Amino acid sequence: MSLLTHTLLQISTVKPSFTGDDLYRVLPELIVLVMAVLVVILDLFLPFRSRPALGYLAILGYAGALVAAGFLFYYDNPTKTSFGGMFVRDNFSSFFEIVFLVSGILVVLVTPSYSLKRGIPLGETYAIQAFSVLGMMIVAASGDLMVIFVGIELTSICSYLLTGFARSDPGSAEGSLKYFLLGIFATAILVYGMAWTFGITGSTNLVAISQSITRNNLSGDAGLTLGMLLMVVGFGFKIAAVPFHLWTPDAYEGAPTPVAAFMSVGPKAAGFAALLRVLIQGLPTLAVQWSVIIAVLAVLTMTLGNVVAIAQNSVKRMLAYSSIAHTGYIMVGLAAYLNTSSPDKQNDAISSVLIYSLIYVFMNMGAFGVLIYVQNRQGGAEVNSFDGLAQWAPGIALAMAWFMLSLTGIPPTGGFLGKFYVFRAAIDNGYTWLAIVGVINSAVSAFFYLRVIYSMYFNPIADEDKARLQPTKAGFIAAGVVIASIALLLLGIVPGPALDLARDGADPLIQGVRTATGR
């Protein structure tokens, strides 16, 4: 029986009628879906000069879904499944949904001024971004390989479209085409890995896969190991892990800057949500194999991302390689899951991935927000475009310095908290060498992050440019930058509440593994 036939049979056995509980559990997704459809409809009738108002609708939709996800996190946290076990509502899915919705709000704030200046249609941008966020939410709440695939492809297709939205820029079309072509191969590899896993275990449901492996002692099966390797390759492309990162620099550089900002945080977090679901919930008995692979990929990803970022003169391209490096840091926490049987230490490893994913949203979205502000005034994205920024926009310069320090991992920023917890999880679980590599890479990254700060504060701007580069109104960008700055400050000095949320988000995976494997 083929994978497609099996999936169709699964769908045919799901009851066509939905209960109120089913709809209640997908309330955040429904709110985002309704908002996306409303944006599409209103975009047809609103006059051109009124279309920026669609941003308020998008923010309202994301905020409403954020409230719903937060409510489900706090008041409906026992794990519950819907639609034949394909959808899982637990604290893990709710936590990642919060991450995705926050990234959606921030990207709406930094988009209008950039897009209007360059003739990029706002309505279509907001709608496609919303469908991309919806795909991410589906991934985080998936209990089945096929639903993970659907969610990832919805996100990916939207990302392909958004990358090529700067139609007057040949680099945008080139980046979109490269991203799309490489994405096709990654998708094929991912589906092939899912097919192997189904063929060995007889199911695409993650819990059933784990139970089948334990029951039939399949952890040493070569076919299952091959399926796992193929899926790691597919997911590695989605999170831009080395050596599956080749699309990232060109796609980020060619894409409109708000799109690059969004791609660097949202789809990356969705890829990690899928990795955690599949590897820990579906394949926990193969942890000996996949943990070593993840550790090696983490080293390669951190090192290449940071070393190549040093040579970049474009801040936008530097942030692209920086994004690759931060993928490596997050992978350290995932690799650390293996070397312990203690539920508390396993929770620490998973929660370090969750908290870093949340912190990274604020760090990178804030940095890209400042870059958009500079591009709107200067037109370029090179390091020298930031020369003298502290003279004519001191508030924006201070925020950018804060984001650069946070990306470096200097206390008391939120970035320090994220790196501290992934490295601590690695040390506690026997991967001290991996934590040392991470610390060395963080020191290397200081060179290119601090170079931007030096340019803003110590490279004076030419006198003839001062009049042209006076600060102008950029209310939405300023709001996004302020939100990201305050969030990083609070995460750096009062980390307790966020860490509690991350630990609660990690609990369902730990409990699910113990239930499925009988350990």
Find the mean pLDDT for residues 192-215.
90
Measured in residues, the chain has a length of 519
What tens digit of pLDDT does each residue of 174-196 get?
Answer: 888 888 888 899 999 999 999 99
Phi, psi of 88 (to 5 degrees): -120, 125
Answer whether 432's CB lies under 8 Å from 391's CB. Answer: no
Q: Which two tokens stand for residue 279?
A: 């590897």
Q: How confident is the model at residue 8 (pLDDT cuts 50, 70, 90)?
A: very low
Q: Looking at the predicted structure, is the pLDDT value of residue 289 above 80?
A: yes
The pLDDT value given to residue 30: 93
Q: Which of 94-98, 249-253, 279-283, 459-463 has the lowest mean pLDDT?
A: 459-463
pLDDT of 510 > 60? The answer is: yes
Q: For 36, left (φ over 0), alpha (ψ -120 to 50), or beta? A: alpha
Measured in degrees and rounded to the nearest 5, phi and psi for residue 431 equal -115, 50
| Phi (first) and psi of residue 144, to 5 degrees | -145, 145
Q: What are phi and psi of 80, to 5 degrees?
A: -135, 145
**What amino acid is encoded at 444 in this protein?**
V
Q: How far apart are the first and last CA of the chain?
A: 32
Cβ pair 309, 321 in contact under 8 A: yes
pLDDT, position 11: 46
Cα-based angle 280, 283, 288 (whole degrees, multiple of 5)? 85
Q: Give the three-class secondary structure for 89.
A: strand
Q: Are 317 and 277 in contact (CB under 8 A)?
A: no
Segment (H or E) for 82: strand 80-82
Whole-number pLDDT of residue 83:
77
Residue carrying the six token digits 């089945």: 144
| Cα–Cα distance, 124 to 404 (Å, whole number) | 31
Q: In whole angstroms, what is the distance from residue 91 CA to residue 133 CA?
A: 18
Q: What would the pLDDT profile of 93-122 be if each residue is shown by its tens digit?
A: 999 999 999 999 999 999 888 887 877 888
The structure tokens listed for 482 are 């302020």
Angle, CA 437 vertex, CA 246 and CA 408 arms, to 5°: 75
Q: What was the pLDDT predicted at 43?
A: 86
Residue pair 285/211 in contact by the 8 Å Cβ criterion: no
Q: Is the pLDDT of residue 235 over 80?
A: yes
Average of per-residue pLDDT across 347-365: 92
Of the candidates 113, 107, 112, 131, the one whose C-alpha atom is nearest the C-alpha of residue 122 is: 112
Give the pLDDT confidence score for residue 74 in this predicted structure: 81
Task: Say what the pLDDT of residue 10 is.
Answer: 52
Question: For residues 385 and 294, which has the higher predicted lDDT (pLDDT)?
Answer: 294
The strand pairing partners of 87, in sequence order, are 82, 142
Tell me the pLDDT tens digit for each residue of 440-475: 999 999 999 999 999 998 888 765 555 555 455 677
Give me the torsion for CA of 412, 415, 419, 422, rounded to 10°.
110
Q: Which residues contact 348 (CB under 8 A, 6 or more apart)?
A: 336, 421, 424, 425, 428, 429
Tell me which amino acid residue 234 is: G
Q: Which helix (H) or strand (E) holds 87?
A: strand 87-89
Report the share of the chain in percent with pLDDT over 70. 90
What does the alpha-carbon distance between residue 243 and residue 260 come to, in Å, rounded to a whole number?
20
- Interval 19-31: pLDDT, tens: 666 777 888 999 9
Query: Is the CB of residue 404 less than 8 Å from the CB of residue 449?
Result: yes
Per-state percent for the chain, helix, strand, coil, to nearest 5: 80, 0, 20
DSSP 431-497: -HHHHHHHHHHHHHHHHHHHHHHHHHHHSPPPHHHHTTT-----HHHHHHHHHHHHHHHHHHH--HH
92 contacts: CB under 8 Å, gap ≥ 6:
140, 273, 276, 277, 505, 506, 507, 508, 509
Q: Specify the pTM.
A: 0.91
The answer, yes or no, to whether residue 381 has pLDDT greater than 80, is no
Distance (Å, rounded) from C-alpha 221 to C-alpha 244? 26
Predicted confidence (pLDDT) at residue 423 exceeds the cutoff of 90: yes
Cross-strand bridge partners of residue 382: 314
Domain ranges of the chain: 23-517
Tell me the percentage of the chain whose pLDDT exceeds 90. 44
* DSSP string for residues in 117-174: HHT--HHHHHHHHHHHHHHHHHHHTB-BHHHHHHHHHHHHHHHHHHHT--TT-HHHHH
CB-CB contact of 262 with 115 (8 Å)? no
Distance CA 494, CA 62 (A): 25
Residue 222 has what pLDDT?
Answer: 86
Q: Please report which confidence band the pLDDT of residue 34 belongs to, taking 50, 70 and 90 as the band edges.
A: very high
pLDDT (mean) for 372-385: 81
Q: Specify the residue for token string 């230490």.
A: 345
Residue 144, strand partner residues: 205
What is the spatial distance between Cα 306 and Cα 325, in angstroms, rounded to a whole number? 6
Q: Is 393 left (phi over 0), alpha (psi -120 to 50) or beta?
A: beta
User: Which pLDDT belongs to residue 1?
Assistant: 47
- How far is residue 153's CA from residue 54's CA, in Å, rounded to a whole number? 26
Q: What pLDDT score was predicted for residue 327?
A: 93
